[in-house]
Copies of this chain bind each other. A is one copy, B any other.
Amino acid sequence: MYNDTIHKRLDDLRSKMNSEGIDYYLFVTADFHSSEYVSDYFKAREYFSGFNGSNGDLLVWKDGAALWTDGRYFLQAGSQLEGTGIDLMKMGMKGVPTVEEFLTENMLPGQVLGFDGRCIPLGRGKEFEKVCEAVDKKACADAENPVKTSIVLKDLAESVWINRPALPANTAWLLTKGNTGESRKERLNRVREEMANNKCDELVLSSLDDIAWLLLLRGTDIDFNPVALSYAIIHRDSLELYINESIITDDVKKSLEADGVSIKAYNEVYADTEKLSEKVTSVMIDPKRVSYTLYKCLTGKNAKAKLVLETCPITIMKACKTPEEINFERIAHVKDGVAVTKLLFKLHELKNDPAFISGEKKVTELEVADVLLGLRKEQEGFLDQSFAPIIATADHGAIIHYEPDEKTNAVIKKDAFLLMDTGGQYKEGTTDITRTVIMGEPTAEEKRLYTAVLCGNLRLAAATFPEGTTGQNLDILARAELWKAGLDYRHGTGHGVGFLLNVHEGPQNINLKGAAGKLTAAFREGMITSDEPGVYLDGKFGIRLENMMVCLNVDKLYDEGKNRAFTGEDAVYAKEYGPFYGFETLTMVPFDKASIDKSLMTGEDIRLLNAYHTVVYEHISPYLNDDEKAWLKDQTSAL
């Protein structure tokens, strides 16, 4: 079946390429800020290929086109690309070249590669430079007549894409010191101090959550991430915020200006950074968070500024929440806990409903997601979900990245696990929680594996560890019980979470391999991280249990109501070897008692579970009706 629409679009693109002298043109799946989600404006790859998965690169040339995507999307892409003439390149499969390898192989010396460099991270742009060099090398025999393979940075979609959606432009809003415990001015001072330590007078910011954190600014330009499309250039005494002026109200503008922030048009950042690089002596950028185009602007032929490539100082500041932010997160988690606990009660009723048991009453995954969203909306201060909800019944739970949509949406199966990984954005903070419940009777295998995952979750949360400890050191606490059974899970155990910001935030995480073999940031006070071990049996079921935890000095932690500060001899030792940290669990939702096999838990595991459930009951029960409360009492009673 010939796909007319796509062929026509590609033909238009190829004419444009021809007139621009571009031989290969690449669309990636990214916005200008490497955001986790891209708005419709940035979905050129989908427009030109018809493939709408969340990951894919489309390369187009004179007489061909190819689309790269990963294993999650091989089937979907295969069917969506039918009749388009676009080849599917299955990433990671043996013999399948990467985009870079394909270009190195196929480009001819002197040809031109084009892409919108604003969507390409600096590192990848450098890889394409290497591609060009490698292609040139093939031509070195003809040294008399040297040609230069080159890159053109241009957004060809702009002129070819008919009815392209506009850039998002949603009204931005501000937090205050009352929300964060720290004013904009105080944050600016801290960042400028770090700039001075790095001997830099200028810092160019392009990651949206860094800007949001620094300026106490929030928006809704990116799905689930409460941020606004923007760039910032920080000078010694002033700051330029590049943002769509229409989303900045007068009040917001006034507040920003009072702290030396001036508003400039979003698109002017490129010209301005270029000018900046010609005037000042040194500019700091984070090489992992800047686009290739922005980098090229800073290193133009008249640039005299030295580039200081360093991890953005905001990364670690943002990760370490203030005491006020932690307090608000506690409140957000009680609200979220009430919503999720109410959902669990409804599911408890459903599984005991004869109509559900008989198969008469059908409830789908999307319906469960809707009910939960409704319950969250009942909570004051609820703003949005923090990511697309994963509600996965039975074998859907085994697909780690499963998200129900109109096509996959399934009816909740009885006697099967229901895995629910969801989260909310509240005025008080960001939540992320996974619970798995059995919708009937669990098998012995299901109970055994649920219990192993639960023990991993509890043991990690109970850790005590000295300063300097990283997620690579801690991860085994969550996995060891599964390893004993020949099991493992192919994802990290925990990711950082923002304060009323992105649900995935660095620099710390909990996994085995760090980032490219390097240990990730050591835990510090105030870091909020998830704890989410799991088990996935293909075609059968998935189990994941996720709580959010905040890292605190043990002096500030409690166990069964007792302060965990060291006492006696231990306090003397800890003076030499400390400070020691641990985690306070923020999430307030019971685990699924029906799925637990107590006989497989150690005494300490049981004690930890009971202690957690006691705290959950204390915090959540005041917000429940009598039926819910009675159920929660039973669900959280001591094992």
- In angstroms, Cα B575 to Cα A578, docked, is 42
- In angstroms, Cα B270 to Cα A507, docked, is 47
Which one of B445, B513, B537, B566 lies within 8 Å of A486 (CB-CB)?
Answer: B566
- In angstroms, Cα B464 to Cα A443, docked, is 26
What chain B residues lie within 8 Å of A469 (beta carbons)? 476, 512
- In angstroms, Cα B472 to Cα A514, docked, is 10
Which one of B483, B513, B570 lies within 8 Å of A580 (CB-CB)?
Answer: B483
Most chain B CB atoms below 10 A, which of A486, A517, A566, A570: A486
Number of copies: 2
Q: Which of A578-615 contact B (CB under 8 A)?
A: 578, 580, 602, 604
Chain B residue nearest to A573 (CB atoms) is: B486
**Interface membership of chain A positions 455-481, coded 1 if the CB is closer than 8 angstroms to chain B and 0 otherwise:** 000000001111011101111110010
A229 shortest CB reach to chain B, Å: 34
Is A518 part of the contact surface with B, judged by Cβ < 8 Å?
yes
- In angstroms, Cα B488 to Cα A473, docked, is 14
Which one of B485, B570, B577 lies within 8 Å of A570 (CB-CB)?
Answer: B485
**Interface membership of chain A positions 558-581, coded 1 if the CB is closer than 8 angstroms to chain B and 0 otherwise:** 000000001001111111011010
- In angstroms, Cα B486 to Cα A569, docked, is 9
Is A88 part of the contact surface with B, judged by Cβ < 8 Å?
no
Given contacts A473-B473, A569-B445, contact A487 B577 (CB under 8 A): yes
What chain B residues lie within 8 Å of A465 (beta carbons)? 476, 480, 483
- In angstroms, Cα B633 to Cα A627, docked, is 62
Instruction: Tell me if B519 and A486 are in contact (CB < 8 A).
Output: no
Chain B residue nearest to A469 (CB atoms) is: B512
Instruction: Tell me if A487 and B573 are in contact (CB < 8 A).
Output: yes
Instruction: Tell me if B484 and A464 are in contact (CB < 8 A).
Output: yes
A285 shortest CB reach to chain B, Å: 22
Instruction: Tell me if B518 and A473 are in contact (CB < 8 A).
Output: no
Chain B residue nearest to A489 (CB atoms) is: B577
- In angstroms, Cα B480 to Cα A573, docked, is 15
What chain B residues lie within 8 Å of A537 (beta carbons)? 573
A residues lining the B interface (CB < 8 Å): 445, 463-466, 468-470, 472-477, 480, 483-488, 512-514, 517-519, 537, 566, 569-575, 577-578, 580, 602, 604
Add 9 more A-B contacts to A445-B569, A486-B566 (CB < 8 A).
A463-B476, A465-B480, A468-B513, A470-B512, A476-B476, A486-B573, A487-B570, A487-B573, A513-B519
What 3 A-B pairs are tightest by C-beta distance, nearest first?
A486-B574, A486-B573, A486-B570
11 contacts across the A-B interface (CB closer than 8 A): A470-B512, A473-B512, A474-B476, A486-B575, A486-B577, A487-B574, A513-B519, A517-B519, A518-B518, A518-B519, A537-B573
